[in-house]
Amino acid sequence: MDRAFIKTPLGVAKLKGNADGLSSITVLNTDETVTDIVPESLEDAVYQLNEYFQGKRQQFDLTLNPEGTDFQQRVWQALEEIPFGKTVSYLQLSKNLGDPKAIRAVAAANGKNPLWIVVPCHRVIGSDGSLTGYAGGLHRKKWLLAHESPAKQQSLF
């Protein structure tokens, strides 16, 4: 499995993958040395993530190869359908998957998403609009949603 560490506005991200696709992207809470030479299998992912953070990309076009149960895979595929700049509630996501009673299972699968940003679990919020639960930390979820917001906050100074 190839690995690369890249700098992002939210910390160092660790990418793992190979010729079969990208298997994980995680943001680290520790400093890690940024990769000087990115493995060929991860070059496109690094390029697209950099474009995302520069505000030049709203969708990813990558071969994904995350490990998870069939149910988790279904949830992660549903997450990919949430448009850039939009959010859905955990309840709505459960309904979209055909079982509104599965809200806790959907939330658990969402929390196990191994592909930070590319599979946009940060776009799922509480039914009341609250920023509930995010494995990367609520400060990162808030930043990502603001980054994707169509109405950017203007500074008065």
Which residues are marked as active site?
121
**Pair 65, 17: CB distance under 8 Å:** yes
The H or E element spanning position 18 is strand 11-18
Q: Do the beta carbons of residue 143 and residue 30 sit within 8 Å? A: no
Distance between the two ends of the chain, CA-based, in angstroms? 47
27 has which bridge partners? 13
Q: Is the dihedral of CA 41, 25, 27, 87 positive or negative?
A: positive
Decide: helix, strand or coil at residue 42. Answer: helix
